[in-house]
Amino acid sequence: MSNQELEVLGRDQECCPGLLTAPLDEDQAAELAKVFKALGDPVRLRLLSMIASRAGGEVCVCDLTPAFDVSQPTISHHLKLLKQAGLIDSERRGTWVYYRLLPQMTDRLAGILTRPAGQPLPQIGQESAGAPS
């Protein structure tokens, strides 16, 4: 995901605070689907967790690969998908690549999925609660 797309997502968050407060428009839904699809794989979810929880905020790919029973090219593919979704970024240092979390995306996801404090979810039939039967 490009920096421009991340900026658009940031602006969307300001005008559209969450999934539970207003319906997503088509563009928002398509963009978020890419992110959720990236998170929908157990290996990618574990990779993201390993990167996000690492002391110092970044981890070398050489420390990620041994934790999985898949090949190094498969790990690289999963990392590429996480990066394309805007969840992580990377930096090459010599022969190794170091990965770090992009907290603006995880913050965005948290904001989208968070119900506004003190506001209950709409109940079925709530719209007609005041109307006579």
Paired residues of 99 in beta bridges: 59, 90
The rounded mean pLDDT for the chain is: 82
Single out the residue of 125, 109, 107 nearest to residue 20, CA to CA: 109
- Give residue 112's pLDDT band: very low, low, confident or very high (50, 70, 90): confident
Q: How much is the pLDDT for 103?
A: 92
Q: How much is the pLDDT for 114?
A: 83
- Cβ-based neighbour number of residue 59 at 10 Å: 21
- Give residue 116's pLDDT band: very low, low, confident or very high (50, 70, 90): confident
Question: What's the average model confidence in pLDDT over 31-51?
Answer: 95
Question: What's the average model confidence in pLDDT over 50-78?
Answer: 94
Q: Which two tokens stand for residue 132?
A: 């006579």
Q: Which two tokens stand for residue 125?
A: 């039939």
Residue 115: phi and psi, rounded to 5, are: -80, 135
Question: What's the average model confidence in pLDDT over 18-27?
Answer: 79
Statement: residue 125 has pLDDT above 80: no
DSSP character at residue 24? -
- Give residue 128's pLDDT band: very low, low, confident or very high (50, 70, 90): very low
DSSP character at residue 110? H
Q: How much is the pLDDT for 126?
A: 52
- Give residue 111's pLDDT band: very low, low, confident or very high (50, 70, 90): confident
Question: What's the average model confidence in pLDDT over 38-64?
Answer: 94
Single out the residue of 79, 99, 98, 76 nearest to residue 38, CA to CA: 79
